[in-house]
Amino acid sequence: MHELSVTQSILDIVLQHANQAHASKVTNIYLVIGDLSTIVDDSVQFYWDIISKDTIAVDAKLQFRRIHTQFECLDCYKQYQPDGDSILCPHCGSAHIKVLSGEEFYLEAIDIEK
Ligand SMILES: [Zn+2]
């Protein structure tokens, strides 16, 4: 359910930028989603189709770019990508880890037509 509020804030930002640029239409929206993010592409698209009606962004395509998860082990200081379901350090087995990337969710860019 939190995709709705997230999608709403994306739309607000998109329209704000589009207005500033005097766009007549928004054609593409580039979103970045980390693999650890709980945001589901399909849900964002679903809400987008509903809330973008009657705006200049109604025909925009949502382009999702995935960012892979990257952890750093705080015991042996090696960086790694988790393998399967295990988040443990593959080098020393530690669970004492820091997330370097994978939790992102943001609007990267938009394409407009004037
Ligand atoms: Zn380690």
Note the pLDDT of residue 108. Answer: 97
Q: How far is ligand 1, taken at its centre, from the CA of residue 77, in Å? A: 6
Total-model pTM: 0.84
Q: How far is ligand 1, taken at its centre, from the CA of residue 82, in Å? A: 12
* pLDDT tens, residue by residue, 6-18: 999 999 999 999 9
How far is it, in rounded angstroms, from Cα 14 to Cα 106?
12
Provide the pLDDT confidence category of residue 75 given band limits of 50, 70 and 90: very high
Question: Nearest to residue 62, comparing CAs of 83, 46, 76, 73?
Answer: 46
Could you give all domains of the chain from N- to C-terminal order, each with its CATH number? 2-68+101-113 (3.30.2320.50)
Provide the pLDDT confidence category of residue 38 given band limits of 50, 70 and 90: confident
How far is it, in rounded angstroms, from Cα 31 to Cα 25?
18
Residue identified by tokens 């988790």 is 82
How far is it, in rounded angstroms, from Cα 25 to Cα 56?
5
Question: Nearest to residue 19, comparing CAs of 56, 51, 49?
Answer: 56
Q: How far is ligand 1, taken at its centre, from the CA of residue 93, in Å? A: 6
Q: How far is ligand 1, taken at its centre, from the CA of residue 79, in Å? A: 8
Note the pLDDT of residue 59. Answer: 93
